[in-house]
Amino acid sequence: MTLAMIVAIVASYLLGAIPTSFLVSRRVKGIDLRTVGSGSLGATNLYRVLGWKFAVPVGIFDALKGATPVALLGPWAGFGTTGSVLLGIVAVFGHVFSVFVSFKGGKGVATSAGVVLGLAPGAFGVTFAVWGAILTFTGYVSLASIAAALILPLAILVVQPSRRNTVFFFVGLALVVVWLHRSNIKRLLNGTEHRFRTWRVASRTSR
């Protein structure tokens, strides 16, 4: 392994580990996002606290944390396609277990989406459409994220067959995303999961 490869691995983790939502919530409202809402350091929980104005750019930045290792760091360090995907997975790991906030983090959905975007934009389009449709019709971000993760390997096989050599990595990534949503799955089954479109209304009425 070359020095460039080692640098790329470390940089991918540190990039993924940037706790974007934590920094924004601390800066704007002076709160620790780990102590409110779901406790997740992701854009969805940030939306519950600060709304779209901050959640959207944070979500985009979190996606870029996954796309950059795949699209830029991998080729720069001399990694092949599968090696670049692994760099993206390292970034997802950094997001979920950030060294900067006691190894806490988000659930890796936006960062995982960035990995897919950097490698297989066609498959990303399919999974994003599935995510958007389910969110629109059900109001559940968790359900939309789980469905998008599960459809991802099939989307790669069908839409971008040139990337089929990476499909097993994305199967693993999809399973990790589902596992990170295990508490959401329990709430969905119990009928106690929050609907995304009602969160801001609830926050206003509680003031």
Q: What is the pLDDT of residue 207?
A: 39
Give the whole-angstrom CA distance, residue 153 versus residue 137: 23
Q: What is the pLDDT of residue 38?
A: 79
Q: What is the pLDDT of residue 15?
A: 97
Give the whole-angstrom CA distance, residue 152 versus residue 141: 16
Cα dihedral across residues 47, 105, 137, 157: positive or negative: positive
- Tens of pLDDT, residues 89-140: 999 999 999 999 999 999 999 999 999 999 999 999 999 999 999 999 998 9
Who has greater pLDDT, 103 or 201? 103
What DSSP assignment string belongs to the chain?
--HHHHHHHHHHHHHHH--HHHHHHHHHH---GGGSTT---SHHHHHHHH-HHHHHHHHHHHHHHHHHIIIIIHHHHT--HHHHHHHHHHHHHHHHSBGGGTTB---SHHHHHHHHHHH-HHHHHHHHHHHHHHHHHH--HHHHHHHHHHHHHHHHHHH-GGGGGGHHHHHHHHHHHHHHTHHHHHHHHHT-PPPGGGHHHHHHHT-
Q: Which pair of tokens denotes residue 28? A: 């704007």
Strand partners, 98: 104
pTM of structure: 0.88
- Tens of pLDDT, residues 17-59: 999 999 999 998 899 999 887 788 989 889 888 888 999 999 9
- Helices 81-96 and 3-17 pack at an angle, to 10 degrees, of 40
